[in-house]
Structure formats: structure tokens, C-alpha cells
Amino acid sequence: MSIQLGDEAPDFTAESTEGTISFHDFLGDSWGVLFSHPADFTPVCTTELGRVAALKEEFEKRDTKVVGLSVDPLGSHREWAGDIEDVTGHKLNFPLVADPDRTVADLYGMIHPNASDTTTVRSVFVIGPDKKVKLTLTYPAATGRDFGEILRTIDSLQLTAKHKVATPADWRQGEDVIITTAVSDEEAAERFPGYETVKPYLRTTRQPTG
């Protein structure tokens, strides 16, 4: 199964390090990030889970709940949690789903047979409050993720969902944004007074607030 942007994120109920979770109920009205790991007790994954634990407050500032997943069983996850804290200095503080029968991995297309028939790739799904998939990222097993970039994309997704703007290359929170082409010049003048026309199709303005 291939998950595409705009699809409803498949719901599931599974055991995790924080008990049984029903994914949609767990997210509630919040944004969500679901990200997978090839296996427990693997070096790159250990650093990633510790990094996400360190960034929990940053995700919370964005009203975003994080769920990890590995195809190993729950007992293995609990043992691994000790290594994560030892290596990174950060205790696992979000649910890590156990998916030994690969039900969730199959729902989300996390196993890529040409990469491995048995382990998940490093998939990331950002999910909106409407339970629609807003962004997908896929990394090979050997490449660790940049969670600062994932936070940046959430900032952009939340901003562009609320205002008629887009974010340019390398955009960061607080920088100028692009007015979408769906907005007429007349509407732009009303919504974004003082905007700049760089090209007829490229108009920039300060980042909207509120």
C-alpha cells in the first residue's frame, strides 16, 4: 500500500511502550508524526529516538504528538529504552509501537522489498488534525533523520494551512513568506499590506501572525 498526500492516515490499535493506543484517538485534534525504525538495538535508531525525546517540548509547542514504531516486540522495546537513555541521556517519553506482525508497517507501506523484505525503511508521516497525511519522508536504513527539518516542515504546514501563503526554499519560522497565486493583487493588498512583488507570479510578505 502506498500512502499519498491527502490520504486519510490509516487508523490502528497496537501495543506500545505507553500501553495500548488507538492511533486516531491518541492524536485527537492534534497534529501527529508517525515514524518507523528498521529494528530495535540498532545504532542509528538509538540516536534518533533519543533526539526525538530531547525535542518533545518542541513538538508539544506545535501541538504535535509523536509515535515511533519498530517491528520488534514490546519486551524488546522496553529493554532498548534503557540503551536509548544511556547513549543519548534522554529517556523515551513518547509511545514506541510494537509491530511484530507488521500490520502497521503494511498499512503504511513501510517495508520496501527492494531495500529489505523484513525491516521497515525510515518512514515519516506528518498527519493533520483532520487525520489526513500532510507530508511523507522516506530515508534508507543507514541515513539518520534530521528532526530539526521535520519540525521546520511542521511549522510550514501549520502556517500554510491557516493562511494563503507558501514558504520558500530554506524558510525558517519568522522569515518572509510567499503569497499564493490563488490570491489576487487586490486581496493581497487587503490581507498583506505592504507586500512586495518580486515577479508577477512571486509576491512576498512578512510571515502572518495569529
Catalytic residues: 45
48 lies in some domain = yes
* 173 shares a domain with 86: no
pTM assigned to the model:
0.92
Q: What is the pLDDT of residue 121?
A: 58
Q: Are 168 and 196 within 8 A, CB to CB?
A: no
Residues in the chain: 210
pLDDT value for 109:
85
What would the mean pLDDT of 74-98 be, rounded to a whole number? 96
| Structural domain includes residue 80 | yes
Residue in 123, 4, 131, 127 with CA at minimum distance from that of residue 59: 127
Q: What percent of the chain has pLDDT over 90?
A: 83
Inside any domain, residue 122:
yes
| CATH number for the domain harbouring residue 174 | 3.30.1020.10
Per-residue pLDDT band at 115 (split at 50, 70, 90) = very low
Q: What does residue 207 show for φ and ψ, rounded to 5 degrees? A: -60, 125
Q: Output the nine-digit C-alpha cell for 147.
A: 528532526
Q: What is the pLDDT of residues 119-169, one digit of tens each?
A: 555 799 999 999 999 999 988 878 999 999 999 999 999 999 999 999 999
As beta bridge partners, residue 65 has 32
User: What is the per-residue pLDDT for 38?
Assistant: 82
pLDDT at 118 over 60: no
| CATH assignment of the domain containing 118 | 3.40.30.10
Find the range with the poorest average confidence among 111-120, 134-143, 183-192. Answer: 111-120
**115 is in which domain, residue-wise?**
13-145
Instruction: Compare 48 and 209 and report the one with higher pLDDT.
Output: 48
Q: Are residues 140 and 169 in the same domain?
A: no
Q: What is the DSSP string of 30-66?
A: SEEEEEEES-SS-HHHHHHHHHHHHTHHHHHHTTEEE
> Do 51 and 93 share a structural domain?
yes
28 & 109 share domain:
yes
pLDDT, tens digit (0-9, with 9 covering 90-100), for 165-183: 999 999 999 999 999 999 9
Alpha-carbon span 57 to 139, nearest angstrom: 24
pLDDT over threshold 50, residue 45:
yes
Domains in the chain: how many in total? 2
Indicate if 24 and 126 belong to the same structural domain. yes
Q: Is residue 113 part of a domain?
A: yes
66 and 135 co-located in one domain: yes
Q: What is the pLDDT of residues 6-32, one digit of tens each?
A: 999 999 999 999 999 999 999 999 999
Tell me which residue of 9, 125, 130, 133 sits closest to 68, measured CA to CA.
Answer: 125
